[in-house]
Amino acid sequence: MRQSANRQRASLWFAVMLCIVLFHFVPAAMAQVQPESNGQPPTQPAPVANELSPVAARVDVEPVARDDKIRERLERILVATGWFIEPNIRVEEGVVFLRGRAESAELKKWAGDLARNTQGVAAVANQMDVKEFSAWDFSSARAGLTQLWRDVLRALPLLVLGVVILVLTALVAWATTRGVRSLLARRISSRLLRGLFARGAGVLVLLIGIYIVLRISGLTQLALTIVGGTGLIGLAVGIAFRDITENYLASIFLSTQRPFQTGDLVEIAGVTGYVRQLNVRTTVLMTLDGTLSQLPNATVYKSAIRNFTTNPNRREDFMVGIGYDDRIDEAQEVARRVLAEHPAVLKDPEPWVLAEELGKATVNLRVYFWLNGEQHSWLKVRSSVIRLVKRAFQDHGISMPDEAREVIFPRGVPVTMLAGSTNEIKPRAIAPPPSQEEHGPEVVATRAEGGLSSEADTLDEQARRAQPPDQKENLLRGENGSSAAS
């Protein structure tokens, strides 16, 4: 019984497997046999999406061109181009099947477009393969270099013409610069301003030449960009080099307005000295201590300028204090006589001796006097006048107390003597003021003061030894190379 049951189960499994086999393979075999029995061609596999071409707008029932003519025409075209490897074309009922290998995806698309635009073609199935290039294939690079060389050869005549135009433009710009400078020589006295206008005219001519070269080369847009961007470039440069631009513009204004000349004694931004040079960046001064000081032109232009040379007469003053017991009018007269007898003090304008204030221990007098700054040094004359006034006050018994060392008691100081003190306080005799005969005659200028003459010549000699910047860059010099002050 058990064996018969096993045989039944085996038969059942065999029947199931047979049914499965028949279910899978019989329909496929019938599908393959049925078209042959009906006389129809086998079915083509489904195409890939990129192999399909757009459906024709209209399909003719009666084709104009036969399939063999379309195939022959397309084969001749593809072979004639030489762009395709083993092109194979099959045409059935106006449907073109393209096979073979193309050099690139663009050529594959070009072949499909060619077939689609051929007369009598209803659809195109582009099944071409695209050639894969090796990483060591330099054919594209060689082709690019070859094309570049051809472009250079084609552009060589334009390049030679552009160089010729640029050379001629440079010559014309140079001649224009010299012509404008010569034309403005009699109209504008500032060398820097003439040079600015001359260089501006030369740069304008040069820009015109560059614009012509770019137009000839076919770079019209670039030419317009350069011409239009010149102002923007100038603005950007002005912002980037603001300090340099500011000093340059200040040098133009200073050379035009000329608030001082070479050799003038000036005071600028707290620096006093003789002007040696004005260049495009700085103003060079020889200070009174014999050092060259360079001030930025922007600082010079924006600062207050005191020019002591424009008017040779200069007023000096100093203050002296006398005691409260002394008469002010007597002290004023003594000081006035000293000023009137001094050879370096001018009589016109006349000197003054004015009471300025009542101090803590002295009555302060302010002494004013004038001198010729070109002939005399105000430092030496001031020292001489102070020395002579002090000597005159001493000779006339006019006290000059110092509030830091002396205290004045107009009503005296009460003194109480202690009983039994054996020491007696004897008043000290006050020596009379020394007479002029004891000290000898007072000289106007001592050896220590070195005379009263101006030190301009000495400072000029020191400036020559100090080797100032190149005098050719001095914007204060005249056309013949000499200073305007000389």
Q: Are residues 336 and 445 in the same domain?
A: yes
Q: For residue 320, what pLDDT is reported? A: 93
Q: For residue 50, what pLDDT is reported? A: 54
In the predicted model, is pLDDT for residue 43 greater than 50? no
Q: For residue 31, what pLDDT is reported? A: 44
Last residue in a domain, options 207, 240, 273: 240
* Residue 440 DSSP SS3: coil
CB 190 within 8 A of CB 250: no
Q: Which amino acid is present at 279? A: N
* Residue 95 DSSP SS3: strand
First to last CA, the chain: 150
Q: For residue 13, what pLDDT is reported? A: 64
Q: For residue 394, what pLDDT is reported? A: 92
Q: For residue 390, what pLDDT is reported? A: 93
Last residue in a domain, options 180, 207, 240: 240
Tens-place pLDDT, residues 381-390: 999 999 999 9
Higher pLDDT, 194 or 477: 194
Name the residue among 274, 273, 268 with its Cα closest to residue 302: 268
In the predicted model, is pLDDT for residue 248 greater than 70? yes
Q: Are residues 22 and 124 in the same domain?
A: no
Residue 427 forms part of a structural domain:
no
Taking CB atoms within 8 Å and a gap of at least 24, the contacts of 205-210 are 205/169, 205/172, 205/173, 205/176, 206/169, 206/170, 206/173, 208/169, 209/165, 209/166, 209/168, 209/169, 209/170, 209/172, 209/173, 210/166, 210/169
Q: Are residues 161 and 218 in the same domain?
A: yes
Residue 327 forms part of a structural domain:
yes
Q: DSSP state, 30?
A: H
Tens-place pLDDT, residues 249-302: 888 888 888 888 888 888 998 898 888 888 888 898 988 888 888 899 899 989
Q: For residue 345, what pLDDT is reported? A: 92
Residue 170 forms part of a structural domain:
yes
Mean pLDDT of the chain: 76
Per-residue b/e over 184-217, b at no fewer than 16 CB within 10 Å?
Answer: beeebebbbbbbbbbeebbeebbbebbbebbeee
Q: Domain span at residue 235?
A: 139-240
In the predicted model, is pLDDT for residue 75 greater than 90? no
Tens-place pLDDT, residues 188-226: 766 767 777 788 888 888 888 887 877 777 666 666 666
Q: Are residues 72 and 116 in the same domain?
A: yes
- Here the tokens at position 41 are 């061609």
- Here the tokens at position 266 are 């000036």
Side-chain half-sphere CA neighbours of 467 within 13 A: 0
Ranges 93-102, 276-285, 438-447: which has the least confidence: 438-447
Higher pLDDT, 260 or 439: 260
Residue 416 forms part of a structural domain:
no
In the predicted model, is pLDDT for residue 341 greater than 80? yes
Q: Are residues 327 and 291 in the same domain?
A: no
Q: Are residues 357 and 448 in the same domain?
A: yes
Q: Are residues 269 and 282 in the same domain?
A: yes
Q: For residue 481, what pLDDT is reported? A: 47
Q: Are residues 235 and 193 in the same domain?
A: yes
Q: For residue 384, what pLDDT is reported? A: 92
Taking CB atoms within 8 Å and a gap of at least 24, the contacts of 286-293 are 286/459, 286/460, 286/462, 286/463, 286/466, 286/468, 288/379, 288/455, 288/459, 290/459, 290/462, 290/466, 291/466, 292/463, 292/466, 292/468
Beta strand 271-278 with 265-268: parallel, antiparallel or unpaired? antiparallel
Beta-carbon count within 10 A of 458 CB = 13
CA distance 36 to 39: 5
Q: Are residues 347 and 443 in the same domain?
A: yes
Q: For residue 6, what pLDDT is reported? A: 61
Mean pLDDT within 50-68:
61
Q: Are residues 292 and 320 in the same domain?
A: no
Ranges 19-23, 153-157, 193-197, 302-306: which has the least confidence: 19-23
Q: Are residues 346 and 282 in the same domain?
A: no
Higher pLDDT, 400 or 220: 400
In the predicted model, is pLDDT for residue 18 greater than 70? no
Mean pLDDT within 84-112:
86
Residue 1 forms part of a structural domain:
yes
Mean pLDDT within 59-83:
79
Name the residue among 453, 320, 294, 306 with its Cα closest to residue 386: 320
Mean pLDDT within 162-177:
88
Q: Are residues 328 and 393 in the same domain?
A: yes
Residue 248 forms part of a structural domain:
no
Crossing angle for the helix pair 191-216 and 242-257, to the nearest 10 degrees: 130
Ranges 15-19, 302-306, 434-438: which has the least confidence: 434-438
Q: For residue 82, what pLDDT is reported? A: 82
Mean pLDDT within 237-251:
75
Q: For residue 40, what pLDDT is reported? A: 46
Q: For residue 429, what pLDDT is reported? A: 43
Q: For residue 79, what pLDDT is reported? A: 87
Q: For residue 219, what pLDDT is reported? A: 65
In the predicted model, is pLDDT for residue 53 greater than 60? no
In the predicted model, is pLDDT for residue 56 greater than 70? no
CATH number assigned to the domain comprising residue 395: 3.30.70.100
Mean pLDDT within 88-110:
86
Name the residue among 456, 458, 466 with its Cα closest to residue 262: 456
Residue 95 forms part of a structural domain:
yes
Cβ-in-10-Å burial (0-12, 13-18, 19+) of 366 comes to middle
Last residue in a domain, options 130, 157, 192: 130
Per-residue b/e over 22-40, b at no fewer than 16 CB within 10 Å?
Answer: eeeeeeeeeeeeeeeeeee
Higher pLDDT, 42 or 180: 180
Give me Rg for the CA atoms of the chain. 56
Residue 485 forms part of a structural domain:
no
- The sign of the torsion formed by the CA atoms of 317, 321, 324, 326 equals negative
Side-chain half-sphere CA neighbours of 320 within 13 A: 25
Q: For residue 184, what pLDDT is reported? A: 79
Whether the model clears a pTM of 0.85, i.e. scores above it, the answer is no
Structural domains of the chain, count: 5
Tens-place pLDDT, residues 412-429: 667 666 665 555 545 444
Name the residue among 453, 443, 474, 338 with its Cα closest to residue 398: 338
Give the DSSP H or E segment for 207: helix 191-216
Ranges 46-50, 263-267, 345-349, 417-421: which has the least confidence: 46-50
- Here the tokens at position 239 are 């912002």
